[in-house]
Amino acid sequence: MNYCRADKSSKQQELFPFILDQESIDNYVQYQKDLKEWKDVYQKYVDAANANLRIIGYCKVLKDSENFNELDLRRRTADAKEAVQTCTKNLAGITEQMQRLQEAIGVYNEFIVSYPMYIESNQNKI
């Protein structure tokens, strides 16, 4: 098992020879994984909010129908509105977290892109 980790580390070092240490590489890769997971969670909350908005719409349509209890529809509407508010609140927090991760990844990306130019400029000075 240690061989696999060592092999993985050496391959990452080949891809990112300019990053100072393995911990930086691990952080960069983890930030990308975390961002993907947060995007998946974000989508689930969006889907849940949309489902509850549809429930609110259905309840409005069914309000005048004789086949449905008005109190039941009001309760369902209130529950759906509360769920939409919860989703909205959670989406704001998730968006904030995704922005932090994107900023961290952006810092690494800027370093990755600028490193070859940095090396070239240092070689030209010699």
The verdict on residue 6 lying in a domain is: no
55: containing domain: 32-125
Q: Measured between alpha carbons, how far is 123 from 117 in angstroms, rounded to an integer?
A: 10
- Structure confidence at residue 63 as a pLDDT band (50, 70, 90): confident
Q: Does pLDDT of 119 surpass 80?
A: no
The verdict on residue 98 lying in a domain is: yes
Q: Does pLDDT of 99 surpass 60?
A: yes
The answer to whether 41 touches 94, Cβ cutoff 8 Å, is: yes
Q: Measured between alpha carbons, how far is 108 from 22 in angstroms, rounded to an integer?
A: 13
Least confident of 69-73, 101-105, 122-126: 122-126
DSSP 20-89: S-HHHHHHHHHHHHHHHHHHHHHHHHHHHHHHHHHHHHHHHHHTT-TTS-HHHHHHHHHHHHHHHHHHHH
How many domains does the chain fold into?
1
The verdict on residue 72 lying in a domain is: yes
- In the numeric block, which tokens belong to residue 74? 């009001």
Least confident of 2-6, 21-25, 29-33: 2-6
Q: Measured between alpha carbons, how far is 86 from 46 in angstroms, rounded to an integer?
A: 11
pLDDT above 70 covers a percentage of the chain that reads 74
The verdict on residue 15 lying in a domain is: no
- Taking CA atoms, 89 is separated from 42, 45, 58, in Å, by 11, 10, 23
